[in-house]
Amino acid sequence: MTQQIRVAVLGAAGRMGATTCAAVEAAADMELVARVEAGQDVAAAVRGAGAQVAVDFTVPGATEANVHALLDAGVHAVVGATGWTDESRARVAEHAARVNAERERGLGVVIAPNFALSAVLAMRFAAQAARFFESAEVIELHHPNKVDAPSGTARHTAEAIAAARRGAGLGPMPDATETGWEARGADVDGVRVHAVRLRGLVAHEEVLLGNPGEQLLIRQDSFDRVSFMPGVLLAVRQVGSRPGLTVGLEHLLEL
């Protein structure tokens, strides 16, 4: 039998952490070696358990420090927690490059705003469609226990739409709003993003693309957190062969 991948889960007591622990335990090629919770020393916990890969589903305020601790501990990181910025990603890329050069290691960090296949495909379809439409807006809908808004997925989607529009030479979207800007949602790279929090929901996103006389609606729904698990397990399997920082599951899926 091939050796199992030794996996630690950070935020193990949380909604995603608990689901990830169950998925890792059910995977024949993985062994869950540590459940790390708030207040524990991340580096000591993963080193003590002999983890090769750590999955971070903690909180926006903790995840960057966790990833730096994992790199110092010599452990690959798969990150689902939100709160990342261009600056924090750049710091992680620089840290990974330095550790890999100094220690002749091939440590990898995969940060994925969303591990659900439906969400990754929706983002890709939205980016493909964006250059053909005058208007584009994003609506993300989540359970009311979510602490951040707009979602990491919606930010990633809006940034991809904005990049596609820039690449096509499109200017700002038509919008005659003069008052009540607070009702027009967040401005992410020039794309309006609206956040709904509703009991009963899990994680959902709509991208609306409009032209004179027509609309394209792209919608994805995660009805259950198990929807994220195939993507998480894929990242755990691949992170060891992807040195440095990878942002987005689309790269692992070769989309």
Ligand X SMILES: O=C(O)C1=N[C@H](C(=O)O)C[C@H](O)C1
Ligand Y SMILES: NC(=O)C1=CN([C@@H]2O[C@H](COP(=O)(O)OP(=O)(O)OC[C@H]3O[C@@H](n4cnc5c(N)ncnc54)[C@H](OP(=O)(O)O)[C@@H]3O)[C@@H](O)[C@H]2O)C=CC1
| CB of residue 59 to ligand Y, shortest distance in Å | 4
| CB of residue 243 to ligand Y, shortest distance in Å | 21
Length of the chain equals: 255
CA dist., res. 181 & res. 174, Å (int)? 14
What does 142 bind: ligand Y, ligand X, none (CB cut-off 5 to 8 Å by kind)? ligand X
CA dist., res. 146 & res. 24, Å (int)? 24
112 part of the interface to ligand Y, by CB under 6 A:
yes
16 part of the interface to ligand Y, by CB under 6 A:
yes
| CB of residue 219 to ligand Y, shortest distance in Å | 17
**Closest C-alpha to 4, from 20, 36, 26, 35:** 26
* Span of 29-37, 70-78, 146-154, 208-216 interacting with ligand X by CB under 6 A: 146-154
Candidate list 21, 76, 113, 122; residue touching ligand Y; CB under 6 A: 113
106 assigned binding-site residue: no
Candidate list 25, 29, 38, 94; residue touching ligand Y; CB under 6 A: 38
Kindly identify the residues of this chain, within the stretch 81-120, that bind ligand X according to CB under 6 A.
82, 113-114
Sign of the dihedral defined by the CA atoms of residues 222, 227, 228, 230, in that order: negative
60 part of the interface to ligand Y, by CB under 6 A:
yes
Alpha-carbon 141 to chain mean position:
16
146 catalytic? Reply is yes
244 assigned binding-site residue: no
76 catalytic? Reply is no
* Span of 35-43, 67-75, 122-130, 188-196 interacting with ligand Y by CB under 6 A: 35-43
DSSP of 148-216, one letter per residue? Answer: SSS-HHHHHHHHHHHHHHHHTT--PPP----S-GGGG-EEETTEEEEEEE-TT--EEEEEEEEETTEEE
Candidate list 35, 76, 142, 165; residue touching ligand X; CB under 6 A: 142
* Span of 57-65, 131-139, 207-215, 233-241 interacting with ligand Y by CB under 6 A: 57-65
Return the residue nearest ligand Y (CB atom): 14
CA dist., res. 132 & res. 60, Å (int)? 34
| Assigned token pair, 139 | 């609506």
Q: Are strands 244-247 and 108-111 parallel, antiparallel or unpaired?
A: parallel
Sign of the dihedral defined by the CA atoms of residues 118, 230, 148, 13, in that order: positive
Residues 142, 156, 194, 204: which is the catalytic one? 142
CA dist., res. 184 & res. 200, Å (int)? 24
Catalytic residues: 142, 146
Residues that bind ligand X (CB under 6 A): 82, 113-114, 142, 146, 151-153, 203
Binding site residues for NAD(+), as ranges?
11-16, 80-82, 112-115
Binding site residues, as ranges?
11-16, 47, 80-82, 112-115, 143, 152-153
